[in-house]
Structure 1
């Protein structure tokens, strides 16, 4: 009997090993084909370029879906009073909700472009034109600050003068010729911009269709899954997709809202503190905050440098304000809006940003955390299922002081450590005893339920 059980376990592990091997081999071959062969790379790039409107539309529909659901719920409270037919009322409600969400999206984009882009461009142009003067003033300020140390003062003055001269030389000698050269490429640039606007326009239309037929698409997807897989496997797959959707939806939508709120608070704070280029600073802080963990540090460097050149005292105010803002966002705004949707610790967040950011750039830094959150969830689920079959403890902390697992009973064995109070049993041993008691109770419940069935 024991041999048959061992053979079944061996066969099951063999299947899992072969599946993992084939999966990893397929992934390796796929990436080798994509990155090593130019023809395949060209085909994939062409497919992505061709399908860009669909990708944009799917992203817009995914982000706007919560907004559409909100409008649908509000309209559904009123619509039945005017439309008695349930099917017509449902279609009318969905159409109106989709129209409202798309309208809100377009208005927000238009307001952002109309208010932020001109002011940001003006701030950048003013900063470039005033840079030499501001650098000279900054050099004088540094000279006064370092008057007590003549050598340090001379080094600082020489460095600042050299930086100013190099910047002026670059603007006159390199920048203008480059601008004249780039003017010859305006045609291709205009074509790219027009293509981008066209893709966004088609993407909006795709988003409207996707939001309108999302239930039908959901039903078709589940139908295909249940047709291909066994019910048990299909149920697990659908549960994984649902959990992955909650991770992505909660993280991405929450991060966008969090960054928007942070940008507005930063703008108001900069106005109150009279920080120069307040719109540019707020935009940089809001956009970089989309990157988890490192975002606020990445945004702090350019904003502080921009402010430091124009007004060192205001740079100090901005630094203090950004530290306070980071604490407010990290402890109040972020947890309230996003929460721990990914289930990752700080180390794994940093790990995922570094790995995915290094592989896929800015997009990898944005989406690396939810993607790794899904991978972490899948690995945890597989490990817990295997441990559950072996009737082992699922809690991670229970394994910290484990010496071995009893081969006969599958019980966790701990190193015997005396507590400070003189108790002969350590806290880990007590936890192990509690787990054994729970396991015995579960066995009794299972046996009683089997008796009741008989």
Structure 2
């Protein structure tokens, strides 16, 4: 290779890239700390972008469907105020949904706490009677239990010391908790302000981004970046819509099933199930423990049957409802939805579960298009079986 100015520049860039890659891999553990620092600095902006992305899914439906008759009838001054009205309606819908859930959940939660408070003494009385009955029925168990010596004085002293330490810790952390709450409130307010500003001028920001890309990148890479961003936006938007739909379906099925089998706390448990279903595939399992513990105090046998019922319902949801509802929304086959959730959860936990499905949908779409393109170039597309 001739060592001219151009080649020397390429060699220098290659050496610099190799050094940077080596240092990056060597200090890979520091990236999480750096990411945390950067996220802390830009926290309000990142929160605003997240709120914008979620609200934009609903706002598009408000603009294109709810306000469709007005869009067709008024074309002069209406476009100037349509965005502001759409944002206002979107926020009112979100606030209304939250208020409706709280109006349903809080009275049910109060009734549940009252019922649990009334049932706990009878639960322990029944448990004690069962233990006495078991001792009378099985003398060997009674003899074994009678040989057990428990130092209740030592246990009470340990609990008292632990309670005192916990109280001191809570008192000492009051200032920290108040500061964290104040910081969270300020971050939320700033995030909402950023979100509203982005929603108001999202078309302008999109145009500025495209102008920047085409100004500083070659045309073909810029077109590829725009296309991938469009696919990603569509995949994440469809995923959010599908996830909310799936949560509503699962919560409704849980409520209907609990009413049929006469399980207690049907409404409260179903609302919890719907919220936990926002965690793909595995989130519903967390609801089993909550529902079973609530029912256990009322009727232990019903708690066991609830676990059986919910395991069956979760299998139905995880293998039939979720892959088809969410998978059809993001354009990802059911098998790959399960694979994406499993891999994302094992690699990055809850965030990996939520993010990996739309990312896999984008990669699946790009890979499928590339495969079709290569088969067309090799003139093999017609000779091979088609996708079902």
TM-score of the superposed pair, with normalisation by structure 1: 0.64
1:36 partnered with 2:30: yes
Q: What RMSD, in angstroms, separates the aligned Cα atoms of the two structures?
A: 4.6
Matching residue of 2:346: 354
Which residue, out of 378, 381, 387, partners 1:391? 378
Matching residue of 1:399: none
Report the Cα offset of residue 169 of structure 1: 8.7
Q: 1:388-411 CA deviation, whole Å, 9 max, x = no partner? A: 5973867xxxxxxxxxxxxxxxxx
Indicate if the aligned counterparts of 1:259 and 1:290 stay in contact, CA closer than 8 A.
yes
Report the Cα offset of residue 282 of structure 1: 2.9
Mean Cα deviation higher: 46-55 or 134-143 = 134-143
Indicate if the aligned counterparts of 1:95 and 1:212 stay in contact, CA closer than 8 A.
yes
Report the Cα offset of residue 89 of structure 1: 1.7
* Residue correspondence of structure 1 range 229-308 to structure 2 within 5 A: 229-267=217-255, 269-270=257-258, 273-278=261-266, 280-308=268-296
SS at match of 1:338: helix
SS at match of 1:339: helix
Distance verdict in 2 for CA 1:124–1:374, change over 3 Å: farther
SS at match of 1:292: coil
Indicate if the aligned counterparts of 2:247 and 2:274 stay in contact, CA closer than 8 A.
yes
1:321 partnered with 2:313: no
Which residue, out of 67, 70, 94, partners 1:105? 94
* Residue correspondence of structure 1 range 3-42 to structure 2 within 5 A: 29-30=23-24, 35-36=29-30, 41=33
Q: 1:135-173 CA deviation, whole Å, 9 max, x = no partner? A: 563465577689877667988x89xx99x9999998766
Indicate if the aligned counterparts of 1:292 and 1:366 stay in contact, CA closer than 8 A.
yes
Which residue, out of 205, 210, 233, partners 1:217? 205
SS at match of 1:78: helix
State how far apart, in whole Å, the 2-side matches of 1:378 and 1:165 are: 68
Unaligned runs of 5+ in 1: 1-14, 395-430, 439-454
State how far apart, in whole Å, the 1-side matches of 2:79 and 2:358 are: 33
- Which structure has more relative contact order (CA 8 Å, sep 6+)? It is 2
State how far apart, in whole Å, the 1-side matches of 2:128 and 2:23 are: 57
Matching residue of 1:441: none
Report the Cα offset of residue 97 of structure 1: 0.8
State how far apart, in whole Å, the 2-side matches of 1:22 and 1:125 are: 65
Which residue, out of 134, 155, 166, partners 1:178? 166
Pick the structure with greater CA Rg. Answer: 1
In the alignment of these two chains, the number of paired residues is 366
Matching residue of 2:84: 95
TM-score of the superposed pair, with normalisation by structure 2: 0.73
Unaligned runs of 5+ in 2: 1-9
State how far apart, in whole Å, the 1-side matches of 2:131 and 2:313 are: 29
State how far apart, in whole Å, the 2-side matches of 1:243 and 1:27 are: 29
Indicate if the aligned counterparts of 1:267 and 1:279 stay in contact, CA closer than 8 A.
yes
Matching residue of 1:203: 191
